Amino acid sequence: MGGSRIGIVGTGSYLPERILTNFDLEKVLNTNNEWIYQRTGVRERRIADPGINTSDLAKEASLRAMEMAGISAKELDLIILATITPDTYCPSGANWLEAKLGAQRAVSFDVTAACCGFIFALSVAEQYLKTGVFKNALVAASEVMSRCQDWTDRENCILWGDGAGAVVLQAFDHSAKDPLPSGKKREVGEILSLHIHSDGANGENLLLPGGGSKTTPISYESVDKKLHTLKMIKANESVRVAVKRFAEAAEEAASSNGIKVSDAKWVIPHQANIRILQQMAKRLNIPLEKVYLTIEKYGNISSATIPIALDEAVRNGSIQKGDYVILTGFGGGLTWASSLIKW
Catalytic residues: 115, 270, 300
SS3 of 330, please?
strand
Closest CA to 93 of 47, 128, 58, 49: 58
Beta carbons of 9 and 69 less than 8 angstroms apart: yes
CA pair distance 151, 285, nearest whole angstrom: 37
Closest CA to 304 of 10, 157, 86, 151: 86
Alpha helices (H) in the chain, listed in sequence order: 22-26, 33-40, 54-69, 93-101, 117-130, 220-224, 235-255, 274-284, 295-298, 305-315
Closest CA to 254 of 331, 343, 338: 338
Supply angle C-alpha 62, 295, 12, rounded to 5: 15
